[in-house]
Amino acid sequence: MPDLVTVQQEDFDVSQELSALRAQDLRVGAVCSFVGTVRDTRALTGQAQDEVQVMELEHYPG
């Protein structure tokens, strides 16, 4: 099974995603996930330069 990383703004159902993953491969025994948001510091400070421009995500597949 290839590695898959998805970044999206739309809401989704985590349990539905896990069920789909397990349906593809019955050997799946554990799943680790990260669900988060980025703080809108511009809304807190009112400063245009505080707008989020980039978000980086790194992982070690090994």
More confident residue, 31 or 4: 31
User: Which residue, among 21, 25, 49, has the nearest Cα to 33 in the 3D structure?
Assistant: 21
Structural contact between residues 21 and 32, judged by C-beta atoms closer than 8 angstroms: no
User: Which residue, among 6, 36, 38, 39, has the nearest Cα to 20 in the 3D structure?
Assistant: 6
Confidence at residue 50, expressed as pLDDT on a 0 to 100 scale? 66
The residue extents of the domains of the chain are: 1-62
More confident residue, 56 or 1: 56
As given in the structure block, the two tokens for residue 32 are 């680790």
User: What does the pLDDT look like over 11-61, one tens digit per residue?
Assistant: 888 888 888 888 888 887 777 777 777 777 777 777 766 677 777 777 777
